[in-house]
Each structure stands twice: as structure tokens, then as C-alpha cells.
Chain A
Amino acid sequence: LAKTTQPISMDSYEGQEVNITCSHNNIATNDYITWYQQFPSQGPRFIIQGYKTKVTNEVASLFIPADRKSSTLSLPRVSLSDTAVYYCLVGPKMDSSYKLIFGSGTRLLVRP
């Protein structure tokens, strides 16, 4: 059973900021939150990872409230190429044997 819940789909337009929220009510103390992006017929690609507060990299920001029961992936000024499925996963960071279970993901459609 997936440990996360996300909206099934979202629509946006080019140039807009997109925020995708993920619920993980049962997150454990040593769990990190990781977001992946998947294009059709490709393996998922790492976007960003965080533990608390805010993390930012060159492609996205991740906002995590103090209770860590949810997180929000923020994509600034999306383009058509950001159309993809986005997955939120939680799990321990350094346990190489920990198996990640995927939820449904959020299918983002960016329109011109």
C-alpha cells in the first residue's frame, strides 16, 4: 500500500507556477520525501528531495511543513516539456535495501 496520496491529474498553462501537493500522514521520523518525474516510456527521474522546511534546486522547490504530513512540489514557470507524471515517495534516505512503493502519481498536462 502506497504511503502517499496525490491528485490524479492537474492542468496548467505555459509560464504558470504549478504546485502539486502530496499527503503522507504516516511519515516516519527517518523518512525523506522525494519527488520523481516520469515521461512516457521512460524510467522515473529524480527531481528533488527534502526532509523539512524548504529545498530548492535548479528545477523545482519542495515545501515541507513542520508536521511533515504533507509536501508541495513547486514548478516555476512550467513549459510544455514539463507535461509528465510526478510521483511523491517517502522512505529512509540511506537504506539501500528499502523498497519504494509508488502511489498513483499526478499527471500534469501543460497547455500552450
Chain B
Amino acid sequence: GAVVSQHPSWVICKSGTSVKIECRSLDFQATTMFWYRQFPKQSLMLMATSNEGSKATYEQGVEKDKFLINHASLTLSTLTVTSAHPEDSSFYICSARAGTALNTGELFFGEGSRLTVL
């Protein structure tokens, strides 16, 4: 089946630095990818919709200058957490829907990336 891969799986950084997380669709093209954030024992919260070749659409309350999203190709979207602070520590998950390419409509999720900001 279709696979979505994230990298890195976990990252630790110092406060004030920036961290980039990659999300790749390995065997299908994804014009749209979604970024979620999940805090411990909470549900996934949608942060933004990443659109290939255009600007991302952010959910209310998510700072676009803080969480930079770039979707430069049909198989890669990146999330950059800029000037990270301890409160940005979370589990970040990307997803993409195979859509008509695989005729399933199934939404595939990456393995997640755990960010810890010291």
C-alpha cells in the first residue's frame, strides 16, 4: 500500500533554533499534505494544509511565520519550526491522501516526528 515517510523520527534542539521535518509520499503523488500536532494523551490537531506549488493554508491559531511549510514537489512537504521554544515540543505527524491515483481515498499518515526543545 501507499506509504508516507517522515524524517527525522525524533529530534532534540536548543531553544531558539529552527528545526525542519520532512514528509514524503514514497509511492504516490500528493498534491495536498496535512500537518498535525499531537500533545501527550491528546488527539491530533490539524495545523495546516500543504499545497504543492502554492502557499499552505493554516488553521486558526497556528502561526504561519512560526511553522513554515513548503511543498516544493508532489512527493515532499517540509515543516520548519522556527525559533523553537519548549512549548513547541510535540509529536508532529503528516498525512496525505492517495486520492484518485490509487482509487482508495485512504488517508496515509507518516510515522510522526517527536520534537523536544530544551
Say if A and B assemble together.
yes
Give the interface of A toward B (CB within 8 A).
32, 34, 36, 41-46, 49, 87, 92-105
For the side of the interface on B, what is the size category? 20 to 34
Tell me whether A43 and B43 are in contact (CB under 8 A): no
Tell me whether B46 and A43 are in contact (CB under 8 A): no
**14 residue pairs from A and B, CB less than 8 Å apart:** A41-B91, A43-B6, A44-B109, A46-B106, A49-B105, A87-B44, A94-B100, A95-B99, A97-B31, A97-B49, A99-B49, A102-B43, A102-B46, A105-B43
Map CB proximity to A onto B30-47 as digits: 1 under 8 Å, 0 otherwise: 111010100000011110
Does B97 reach chain A (CB closer than 8 Å)?
yes
Chain B binding surface, main DSSP class? strand
Chain A binding surface, main DSSP class? loop
Q: Could you say which residues of chain A place their CB within 8 Å of the CB of B91?
A: 41
Closest A residue to B9 by CB, please name it.
A41
Tell me whether B100 and A100 are in contact (CB under 8 A): no
Nearest Cβ in chain B — how far from A10, in angstroms?
Answer: 16
